[in-house]
Chains A and B, each alone.
Chain A
Amino acid sequence: MAEPLLDVQNLEMVFENKYQAFTAVDHLSFSVEKGQTLGIVGESGSGKTMASLSVMKLLPNQGRVSGGKILFEGKDLVPLKEKEMQKLRGRELAMIFQDPMMSLDQVYTVGSQIVEAILTHEPVGKKQAEERALELLTAVGIAQPERVFRSYPFELSGGMCQRVMIAIALSCNPKLLFADEPTTALDVTVQAQILDLLRKVRDEYQMGIVLITHDLGVVSDIADRVIVMYAGKSMEDAPTDVIMNHPAHPYTMGLIQSAPKLEEQVERLHSIEGAVPDIRNMPKGCRFCTRCPQANDLCRETEPQVREIAPGHFVRCHYAGN
């Protein structure tokens, strides 16, 4: 196999101030190849968004990558200066965010925002950039590109804004796209359109996609491989159909069982009792031990290591696969 597009090794990310530091992402490793989609699934507060912001180097002020390597095409991004990173961002790495309405600037037209992105990164004139912008709007399935080009974001629906965001992200043919909850704010019928579009551009441009979501349904639809995160750590990492059909970690099993299913009727849903532990006060042993139905003294005392229980199937649990 060729060198992966993105190879993240033991990424550690902390929030800190003068007095204390909290680890939000703890020894997370993953890799993405060209044309592949990696899904990162977790509940709110699991660190999935911080992991992607670490790679993009867009962390909020108190956040800092404190360990590990982020190899993009073999080159480590961690020591890069902001200026060098700017060259990569947009051209090589792009990101789309959860709330499409909030991530576009309300006082500029959609067209000028796409053109701006192109002019920043490509040595082209304004005229060419505008042509390219219209092409992109057509490529993301917008029916009247000229009209949308002149529109302001508030004149468009959520699905349209997300298409525009994808157009901006694609404007410089990035090799890797981070999509942070790209469909959470959208209706299901529109979500289906957007997922279809992501699949199309991935295959067309041989792009790697990292899809961050809380929705297992979305992941099963589009991802090749899935990482399940809980409280800053990867709990399970396996190909999508393995995660969906043969989950080994109690947390993954709980997540899958707690979502209501369309085709079966159950009286009660399986629920994971309790809530995600506070980042300032993590349990000593396994992060999931406070909510795990199978937890025992070993789990509460000793943090389990990641083990490969089958080829390509990694689990962080003392008992998985036994």
Chain B
Amino acid sequence: MNEVLLDVKNVSKTFPVKAGLFSSAKGVVHAVDNVSFQIHRGESFGLVGESGCGKSTLSRTLLQLVPADSGEICFNGNNLAALSKKEMRAQRESMRMVFQKPFDSLNPRQTVRQIISAPMQVHRKMNRQEMDAEVMKLMDLVGLSRGYVDRYPHEFSGGQRQRIGIARALALQPQLIVCDEPVSALDVSIQAQILNLLKDLQKEFGLTYLFISHNLAVVKHMSDRIAVMYLGSLVEVANGPELYRAARHPYTQALLSAIPDPGSGQKRQRIILTGDIPSPVNPPAGCRFCTRCPNVMERCKTERPALRTLADGGQVACFLYEQEGGTA
């Protein structure tokens, strides 16, 4: 449990912004800004944040689908950026992804059989019979009837398509699965089915998840530890129950209070943030959250707080907690 599977150190990714097709870059979007965290084997690591905060870019950087500008990503002790294409391909077998939109992430012209067996064709030398047996096994695992194997994606509902996507991700016995908003396109009752399936599979195969969502309740249900992201940076990392019980960063507190919760009888005190997320092209100097923070101080506007580890192991990037022990 304590072995580090994925070690992310100071990763940044920027994209140039162009004014027109032929003009030179006008500025850069700081999509991911100096992010560091570790995921241990067998754990579920949640990443939560609002749209545009860089969660999806971060996940794509981790899988080397887009190269990081700087920083180091170590998977199983290998620095991914230093690997050759061939070596990277071997690593990809054990790091797979489940995508957000089950409608867009499956090729409409391939049957379920072709979709699920594609990773095996790329990475394994299997004959037809072996591959078919494997596909059937995967269909059973994700709860799809074997009779559907020669159907096309459009014949399935959203929940079933997400099951196909999960079967494809499982095909090569991966170690890490990055789930990028796997249930946000689904209805509540279907969402629960998929979340349960993901949890069962984790138990059965000892999988490690990076679970990304904008929905804090979903992330909390799925994750052991949660990182909160705002405008490209992590503002807080904590154990799930602690994050909910005693959120430290003002942004996390606001995010928690903004969620309408049908379960709670009494109304919680609401913190309503003013304004929108600032543009990542031109982020505020100092703390990224200073333009919307209810507890903003003069210092926050010029100086940027670093993510510090506090005594209980939680991490927070905020000057309010500077007095509490721990290390930078």
Contacts and interface: CB of A to CB of B under 8 A. Distances in A.
Interface of A: 43-44, 143, 157-160, 187-193, 195-196, 214-221, 241, 244-245, 254-256, 258-273, 275-276
Given A157-B276, A189-B254, A260 B264 contact: no
B314 interface: no
A188 B220 contact: no
A219 B262 contact: yes
A261 B190 CA distance: 16
A217 B260 contact: yes
Interface in B157-208: 157, 159-160, 187-193, 195-196, 199
A44 B220 contact: no
B147 interface: no
Interface string B1-28: 0000000000000000000000000000
B114 to A, nearest CB: 24
B297 interface: no
A266 B157 CA distance: 27
B227 to A, nearest CB: 17
Contacts of B189: 43, 254-255, 258, 271-272
Nearest to A275: B157
B33 to A, nearest CB: 19
Contacts of A157: 276-277
Interface stretch (B60-68, B77-85, B211-219, B303-311): B211-219
B328 interface: no
A269 B272 CA distance: 29
Nearest to A267: B199
Contacts of A267: 199
Nearest to A268: B196
Contacts of A159: 276
B259 A43 contact: no
A96 to B, nearest CB: 18
A220 B268 CA distance: 13
Contacts of A195: 260
Given A187-B214, A196-B272, A218-B260, 13 more contacts: A44-B187, A157-B277, A191-B260, A192-B257, A192-B272, A193-B273, A262-B261, A262-B263, A266-B221, A271-B193, A272-B192, A273-B193, A275-B159
B259 A217 contact: yes
A269 B196 contact: yes
The 7 closest A-B pairs by CB, nearest first: A217-B260, A258-B192, A260-B221, A271-B192, A221-B260, A187-B50, A272-B189
Interface string B261-292: 11111000010111111000000000000000
A187 B272 CA distance: 12
A266 B277 CA distance: 32
A258 B241 contact: no
A251 to B, nearest CB: 9
Classify the interface of chain B: helix, strand, loop or mixed: helix
B90 interface: no
Contacts of A191: 258, 260
A256 B263 CA distance: 8
A259 B221 CA distance: 10
Given A221-B260, A269-B221, A271-B189, A260 B272 contact: no
29 contacts: A43-B187, A43-B189, A157-B276, A157-B277, A158-B51, A187-B50, A188-B50, A189-B255, A192-B270, A192-B272, A215-B188, A216-B262, A217-B262, A244-B262, A256-B262, A258-B188, A259-B192, A259-B217, A260-B192, A260-B195, A262-B216, A265-B240, A265-B241, A267-B199, A269-B195, A269-B196, A270-B192, A271-B192, A275-B160
A177 B192 CA distance: 32
Interface residues of B, number: 44
Nearest to A195: B260
B244 interface: yes
A266 B218 CA distance: 12
A263 B263 contact: yes
A196 B272 CA distance: 9
B256 interface: yes
Count chain B CB atoms within 10 A of each CB in A159, A218, A260 and give the residue with the most.
A260
B7 to A, nearest CB: 28
Contacts of B256: 262
B50 A189 contact: yes
Given A259-B188, A260-B221, A188 B263 contact: no
Contact of A189 (B159, B190, B220, B273): B273
B273 A259 contact: no
A196 B255 CA distance: 15
Contacts of A219: 262
Contacts of A220: 260-262
B51 A214 contact: no
A215 B244 contact: no
Given A258-B189, A272-B192, A275-B157, A192 B258 contact: yes
B221 A193 contact: no
Q: Which of B214, B216, B273, B276 has the most CB of A within 10 A?
A: B276
Contacts of A266: 221
Contacts of B199: 267-268
Nearest to A143: B275
Given A190-B276, A193-B272, A43 B188 contact: yes
Contacts of A262: 216-217, 220, 244, 256, 259, 261, 263-264
Nearest to B53: A187
A291 to B, nearest CB: 8
A259 B263 CA distance: 9
Contacts of B265: 241, 244-245
